[in-house]
Chains A and B, each alone.
Chain A
Amino acid sequence: MATLEINAGVHATTVSDRRALAAGVVEMTLDAPLLARITRPGQYVMAIPPSAQAAATALAVYETQSKHASLLFFVTGGRTRELAALRPGDRLDVVGPLGNGFDCSGGARDVAIVAGGVGIASVLLAARAFVAAGARVRLFYGARTAELLVDAHRFADAGCELVLATDDGSAGERGFITERLTREPKPESIVACGPTPMLRAVARIAEELRVPAQLSLEETFGCGVGGCWGCVVPIARESAQAPSFPPAERGGSDVVYARVCREGPVFWAHELRW
């Protein structure tokens, strides 16, 4: 995994653009030169609600281009509804960039990126990094319906081959995108972000294929910066990501809880003990 550096801060940004990618799916672009410069693929920010009436929301940094960073999110409740209501010119303060991000330096020549639903928000920068490194990149992208397969063309423009699936068959094949992963030629490396059941399936497939897989996990955050231990996942104690604190054991001596927000959100599939 990428090394954890504390270069994060609180960024006062201005919304420069807002795009509705589908019903309830928003890409919010921010004037944020420093954030755009220092964010690595797979990192996220905690977006501070302008009303200050709720906890900050963890959102993936979707895209960075010169002075702009964008956040892609699905409107799922009150907190994301408030953020979705922002318009160009409005202020949005964010804490970040946070988390370890994907390791895009492994030298893999053939990378499969698996994204489910809003998981797409975490993988665009990784796709760009792998393409820039000369890898063949296939995006395995699944969603409930065609309309929710947002921005697939952007990945195609970035140089990815697309493999699509939807629950209702309205685009690509009907069924789970992970099923397609098992039928296509084996990649050298897998990167995935999406709902937990999809990530578990990716972990199983990666094990069968004997391919390393990096999974960006989904968990409800409290503080988002490592202070509350609300978002933990059991991992192998020998993992480089195992925190020194705390060493409490579960099911033997080889499993510890890591914080998804701090040690993650990206973990090696073979090191998870979930």
Chain B
Amino acid sequence: MSAAPNLATKLGGLDLAYPTLMGSGCYGTGEEFAPFADLSKIGAIVLKSVTRRPRLGNTTPRIVHTPAGMLNAIGLQNPGLDWYLERELHKYGDRPCRIVGSVAGFSVDDYAYVCERLAARPEIAAIELNVSCPNVASEGETFGCDPSLTAKVVRAARATTDKTLIVKLSPNVTDIRAVAKEAQDAGADALAVINTVRGMAIDVETWRPRLGNVSGGLSGPAIRPIAVLAVYEVAQTVKIPIVGQGGIETLSDALEFFLAGATAISIGTANFTDPRIPERIVTELEAYLAGRGLAGIGDLIGKANIGFATPHQYEGDEG
């Protein structure tokens, strides 16, 4: 009998007992889901993004359910860094999983300022740079859509901490590979691929946009194929690990992301369907690996190419 498969994984210096992160803004501080989910069976919670100054967030409605997913436009509601450090963060120190801080900003200096202070706290195991929030009026997504601006933000944040830096990339770009490459070269330890896809819904009774913010970010299974391709393409481009995310609800979904090249996965909207999903995925993943005699998720990562006939090979056959 071989040993149980190894579900542990590593993002830069961040060791995770399980390859599952709970997406920023989708899991609160963990406390909200603790009555319904075993937090010791997840890898990490990515906290809601914090900014230098307090933000009220967008007007309501902030959520619209759409086919195979949902649009959200929360608008980075958060109490600001000072309040967060003084009155919130200490409460999260006893979670039975890793805690990743998420940083958002409106200037390169903002990112560096918040990153430095957040990363200095012992509760925080790693930092996610949210350079790709599509839901704030003042061009919050600008950084993530511009490879050179992304590089500036990552370089500035990198200079403030040795903790693992995860850069969350936007799918709302012409070529995500260019942004990924810049982020890597600027010092990112890992990339989160992808953030939400921009979208809009209109109420045909009232002729008004359904979201208070007019536009929002689409998540859920509707965006999964977009995310799988993004992970696959980024994995061909960079050497740093990737956190695959976008509509993951089942073991099968998770496997797609590992095979496309993800080293870990992030679960967001699926927690709104059923809070037991993250634990179910790791349980089924372990059984899947054991059933195939695989030692760990390392045997899955980026294996989507192997054994595939390429157009080139067919050409040869025809010759």
Contacts and interface: CB of A to CB of B under 8 A. Distances in A.
Interface of A: 6, 8-10, 48-49, 52-56, 77-79, 93, 95, 219-233, 244-250, 257, 262
A232 B212 CA distance: 12
A227 B27 contact: yes
A95 B273 CA distance: 10
6 contacts: A10-B276, A53-B273, A222-B72, A226-B32, A246-B80, A257-B77
B64 interface: yes
B55 interface: yes
Given A9-B35, A244-B87, A228 B56 contact: no
Given A232-B57, A245-B79, A248-B79, A225 B63 contact: no
A48 B83 CA distance: 35
A108 B64 CA distance: 38
Given A8-B35, A229-B77, A247-B83, A221 B63 contact: yes
B83 to A, nearest CB: 6
Contacts of B67: 78
Contacts of B221: 53
Interface in B21-69: 25-29, 32-33, 35-36, 48, 54-57, 60-65, 67-68
A245 B83 CA distance: 9
The binding surface of chain A is classed by DSSP as loop
Given A8-B36, A226-B28, A227-B32, A246 B77 contact: yes
Interface centre among B27, B32, B72, B83 (most CB of A within 10 A): B32
Contacts of B72: 222, 228, 230
Given A9-B36, A222-B72, A56 B26 contact: no
A246 B55 CA distance: 9
Contacts of A226: 28, 32
B265 to A, nearest CB: 17
Contacts, number: 124
B274 interface: yes
Given A224-B272, A228-B63, 19 more contacts: A8-B35, A52-B249, A55-B272, A56-B272, A56-B273, A77-B65, A95-B36, A219-B60, A223-B272, A225-B28, A226-B28, A226-B32, A229-B25, A229-B48, A245-B79, A245-B87, A245-B88, A246-B79, A249-B54
B269 interface: yes
B54 A246 contact: yes
A222 B273 contact: no
Given A93-B274, A220-B64, A247 B25 contact: no
Contacts of A10: 36, 275-276
A48 B273 contact: yes
B62 A227 contact: no
B62 A232 contact: yes
Contact of B57 (A8, A52, A77, A257): A257
Contact of A223 (B32, B68, B79): B32
B57 A222 contact: no
Nearest to A93: B274
Contacts of B54: 246-249
A77 B271 CA distance: 21
A99 to B, nearest CB: 13
B203 to A, nearest CB: 12
Contacts of A221: 63
Given A10-B275, A220-B61, A250 B56 contact: yes
A54 B65 contact: yes
A135 to B, nearest CB: 33
A261 to B, nearest CB: 9
Nearest to B61: A220
Contacts of A78: 67
Interface string B233-265: 000000000000000011000000000000000
Given A220-B65, A228-B26, A248 B80 contact: yes
B2 to A, nearest CB: 32
Contacts of B55: 248
B118 interface: no
A98 to B, nearest CB: 10
Contact of A54 (B26, B87, B273): B273
B68 A222 contact: no
B272 A228 contact: yes
User: Closest 4 CB pairs between A and B?
Assistant: A227-B28, A246-B79, A230-B63, A227-B32
Given A230-B62, A246-B83, A53 B68 contact: yes
A48 B273 CA distance: 6
B74 interface: yes
Contacts of B83: 246-247
Contacts of B275: 10, 95, 225
Given A52-B249, A55-B269, A247-B54, A219 B61 contact: yes
A225 B32 contact: yes
Nearest to A256: B56
- Most interface-central of B29, B65, B70, B272 (chain A CB within 10 A): B272
Nearest to B280: A52
Contacts of A247: 54, 79, 83
A249 B35 CA distance: 30
B56 A257 contact: yes
B148 interface: no
B172 interface: no
Nearest to B65: A55
